[in-house]
Amino acid sequence: MVCLACLGTAVSAQVESKRSEGKQIVRQVDHIVIRLDTTADAEALWSLFSEKLKLPIAWPPGDYGDFFSGGVSVGNVNLEFAYLSSRWLHSHSTPQFHTRAQLFGLGLEPEPLTLALRRLERRGLQHGQLEHHQIKDRDGSALTLWTQVALPDVSREMSIFLCEYNPIIWRMSDPPHEDIEEARRALRDELRERDGGPAGVLSVKEILIGTSDYKATRQRWETLLGATAGEFAGHWQPGAGPAIRVAPAPADGIQSIVIRVAGLDRARRFLQANGLLGRSTKTTIAMDRDKLMGIGVQLVE
Q: Write out pLDDT tens, residues 245-255.
A: 999 999 999 99
Q: How far from 45 is each of 36, 69, 79, 294, CA to CA, in Å?
A: 9, 11, 11, 11
Please state, for a pLDDT cut of 70, what percent of the chain lies above it. 87
Length of the chain (residues)? 301
| Domains of the chain, start order | 23-193 (3.10.180.10), 201-300 (3.10.180.10)
Angstrom distance (rounded) from CA 234 to CA 227? 9
How many Cα atoms occupy the beta-carbon half-sphere of 55 within 13 Å? Answer: 30
Mean per-residue pLDDT of the chain: 89
**Phi, psi for 4 (deg, rounded to 5):** -90, 150
Closest CA to 224 of 246, 240, 206, 203: 246
Chain centre to alpha carbon of residue 179? 18
- Asked whether the beta carbons of 69 and 118 are under 8 A apart, the reply is no
- Asked whether the beta carbons of 149 and 113 are under 8 A apart, the reply is yes
Angstrom distance (rounded) from CA 209 to CA 249? 9
What integer pLDDT is reported at residue 7 of this predicted model?
41
- Asked whether the beta carbons of 80 and 67 are under 8 A apart, the reply is no
Angstrom distance (rounded) from CA 135 to CA 22? 34
18-27, 38-47, 65-74, 288-297: least confidently modelled range: 18-27
Tell me the pLDDT tens digit for each residue of 140-185: 888 899 999 999 999 988 999 999 999 988 988 888 999 999 999 9
Q: Please tell me whether residue 96 adopts helix, strand or coil conformation.
A: coil
pTM of the model: 0.89
Angstrom distance (rounded) from CA 299 to CA 280? 9
Which amino acid belongs to residue 107?
G
Tell me the pLDDT tens digit for each residue of 39-71: 999 999 999 999 999 999 999 999 988 889 999
- Asked whether the beta carbons of 259 and 74 are under 8 A apart, the reply is yes
What integer pLDDT is reported at residue 12 of this predicted model?
38
Angstrom distance (rounded) from CA 139 to CA 133? 18
Q: Please tell me whether residue 35 adopts helix, strand or coil conformation.
A: strand
